[in-house]
Amino acid sequence: MTTPSIELQEGARQFGVPMPYGVASKLAQLKIAALLPAASPGRFDILNIRKVGVLTIDGVTVRIQPKTPIRRLLGMLVHSRDPDAIWRDDDVAMDSDDDLYATVAHAFARTLHRSLAAGLQRGYIERDEALPLVRGRWRITDQLSIRAGQPLPLEVTYDDFVEDIALNRVLATAVRRLLRFPGLPSEAGLMLRQDLRAFADVPSVAWGSPLPYVALTRGSERFRLPLELARIILNNLSLEHRDGAVVGSGFLVDVWSIFEDFVGAVVRRLAAPGVVRTQHQAKLDLAGRIDIKPDLVWLDQGAVVSCADIKYKVEHGGRVPNADLYQLISYCGRFGLAEGHLVYAEADDPTDRIEILGGPVIQRHALRLDRPLADVEKEIAEIASRIRPVARVGSSAALP
């Protein structure tokens, strides 16, 4: 029996899409898209889709394809989380580039399989145990309080060289959850089942528990990329959403956040420490009741001297949305700036300079994401070099 499916496109407006009410309700509840009932019963108009991936709800599979090439999207996601993780396009299968979940699963399986060729990483952990002989350090105080002077067993603390370390627990959890998730590519499934045997003595992280902190060493550096892919999988993979009678599973990522995080990470890496700050929090009013959070600010001795907002796309036929302008104008007014910057993932309108009457000059910059990741990073560097700190037109020192 074929599973019913619905194909959607990120960023596109689709009208009259046939869809069960439970599925539409869940998409809206998860803030995946805005849905409006169409003229015909059982059909919906869908817009403002900002997440991509696959979601199964009440037996219906919803696939949302990104506008940005999936390899580029995944490369940006990895880089924004860990700039030292070296991403290669050949880490994914050629035939998986039309499905985000399949691409991530295959990339994780391939990089993990390659990293495990040198064996599973082991490490020292500290254990407190009661033993019949001295091993490590004898805890005399505990011996007296717990054993009431009895000579045996001995309360000791020692370092054990084991496979049950934080790195392996994260990797093992990602392997096991992927093998439970429907739609796993056959090649990826084969590699993951082979590698699962290596984690036989490694427990999984409990569902809903935070992932443990992993400090990579020179010996475990080969696991950097599969570790980051494992985190992406575990942070975005849900084996069950439950809402009354509607039950589903999904792997979804927010493309808007990926783009903003990627641009911010590249600019921060290029700038001197402490000069650039992302998601800078400030107050807009004297009473301190209105919060603002520009995506990128340049600092000089703690004061904001340049400001940029990052937007995934230009809406309304290539025009800069008024809301984007209003937002940046308020930022410039708050920090006393004569110029502000908007960075978009794409732009059809060639105009790149907007002079606001009685306000700042808005400079618009556009990136092209259909090229190799290294070229995208170079373009971000060029844009960052043009976002120069400008003279302040007013003092905002009194604002909180």
Assigned domain for 168 exists = no
Assigned domain for 266 exists = no
The DSSP code for 396 is: -
Which pLDDT score is estimated for 94? 46
Query: Quick one: CA torsion of 212, 279, 221, 373, rounded to 10 degrees?
Result: 130
132 and 69 both lie in a single domain: no
Q: Does the structure show a pLDDT above 90 at 328?
A: yes
35 and 138 both lie in a single domain: no
Assigned domain for 149 exists = yes
Choose one of 220, 253, 286: the last residue of a domain. Answer: 253
Which pLDDT score is estimated for 349? 55
Burial 32-41 (b: 16+ CB within 10 A, else e): bbebeebeee
Q: Which residues contact 268 (CB under 8 A, 6 or more apart)?
A: 276, 278
> 61-118: per-residue pLDDT in tens?
888 888 888 878 888 888 887 777 776 666 655 455 567 888 888 889 999 999 998 8
Which pLDDT score is estimated for 1? 45
pTM for the model stands at 0.74
Stretch 209-234: mean pLDDT, rounded?
90
12 and 135 both lie in a single domain: no
Which pLDDT score is estimated for 400? 46
Dihedral sign computed on CA atoms, order 115, 117, 120, 122:
negative
Assigned domain for 11 exists = yes
Assigned domain for 340 exists = yes
149 and 35 both lie in a single domain: no
The more confident residue out of 180 and 134 is 180
Name which of 3-7, 20-24, 188-192 the model is least confident about: 3-7
Task: Characterize the bridge pairing of strands 303-311 and 339-344.
Answer: parallel
Of residues 192, 164, 162, 163, the one with CA closest to residue 180: 192
Q: Does the structure show a pLDDT above 80 at 338?
A: yes
Q: Would residue 145 be called left, alpha or beta, if left means φ above 0 and alpha means ψ between -120 and 50 degrees?
A: alpha
User: 70-81 vs 100-115: helix axis angle to the nearest 10?
Assistant: 60
Q: Match 């570790």 to its residue by tokens.
A: 227
**Across 69-73, 157-161, 235-239, which has the greatest mean pLDDT?**
69-73
Assigned domain for 393 exists = no
Domain residues for the domain of 282 are 271-386
What span, in angstroms and rounded, lies between the C-alpha atoms of 129 and 131? Answer: 6
Stretch 144-161: mean pLDDT, rounded?
74
The DSSP code for 116 is: G
> 9-52: per-residue pLDDT in tens?
887 788 889 998 888 888 888 888 888 998 888 899 998 888 88
Stretch 139-155: mean pLDDT, rounded?
75
114 and 150 both lie in a single domain: no
202 and 279 both lie in a single domain: no
Choose one of 138, 162, 186: the last residue of a domain. Answer: 162
> 298-319: per-residue pLDDT in tens?
998 888 999 999 988 755 555 7
67 and 191 both lie in a single domain: yes
Assigned domain for 286 exists = yes
- The number of domains in the chain is 3
Q: Does the structure show a pLDDT above 50 at 281?
A: yes
Which pLDDT score is estimated for 353? 84
194 and 249 both lie in a single domain: yes
Assigned domain for 311 exists = yes
319 and 357 both lie in a single domain: yes
127 and 209 both lie in a single domain: no
142 and 281 both lie in a single domain: no
158 and 215 both lie in a single domain: no
